[in-house]
Amino acid sequence: MQNPNEDTEWNDVLRQHGILPPRAPSPTAQLEAAMEEAVDKAYANRLEGKSLNELDELEDDGLEDEEFIQMYREKRMAEIQEQASRERFSEVVHISKPEYTEEITNASKSWPVFVHIVGSGVVQSKLLSALLLRVAPRFKDIKFVEIDSRQINEKYPSSQCPTILIYKNTNVLDQIVTLDTIGGNSTNLHDIDRLLVKEGLVERTDERLLENQDSD
What is the pTM assigned to this prediction? 0.63
Same domain? For 110 and 187 the reply is yes
> 113 and 197: one domain?
yes
Domain match, 152 and 77 both:
no
pLDDT given for residue 87 in this prediction: 60
| Rounded distance between C-alpha atoms, residue 25 and residue 44, angstroms | 27
Decide if pLDDT at 216 tops 50.
no
Handedness of CA 119, 123, 127, 133 (dihedral sign): positive
**Looking at the 3D structure of the chain, how many domains does it have?**
3
47 vs 143, higher pLDDT: 143
For residue 171, what is the domain's CATH number?
3.40.30.10
pLDDT in tens, 72-104: 667 767 666 666 556 678 899 999 999 999 999
Within this chain, do residues 119 and 187 fall inside the same structural domain, yes or no? yes
pLDDT digits (tens, 9 = 90+) for 147-199: 999 999 999 999 999 999 999 999 999 999 999 999 999 999 999 999 999 99
* pLDDT value, residue 145: 98
> Do 82 and 159 lie in a common domain?
no
Q: Are residues 53 and 39 in the same domain?
A: no
Q: Please report, for residues 1, 24, 25, 26, 105, the alpha-carbon distance to residue 14 in angstroms, rounded to integers and kept in the order given.
A: 14, 15, 17, 19, 67
pLDDT (tens digit, 9 = 90+) per residue, 98-152?
A: 999 999 999 999 999 999 999 999 999 999 999 999 999 999 999 999 999 999 9
Q: Which domain holds residue 53?
A: 49-86
Are 13 and 80 part of one and the same domain?
no
> Measured between alpha carbons, how far is 156 from 73 in angstroms, rounded to an integer?
50
Domain shared by 109 and 209, yes or no: yes
Which residue would you say has higher pLDDT here, 58 or 171? 171
Beta-sheet pairing, 171-177 with 143-148: unpaired
Same structural domain, 63 and 126:
no
Same domain, 121 and 191: yes
Do 168 and 189 have their domain in common?
A: yes
Q: H or E element: which one contains 163?
A: strand 163-168
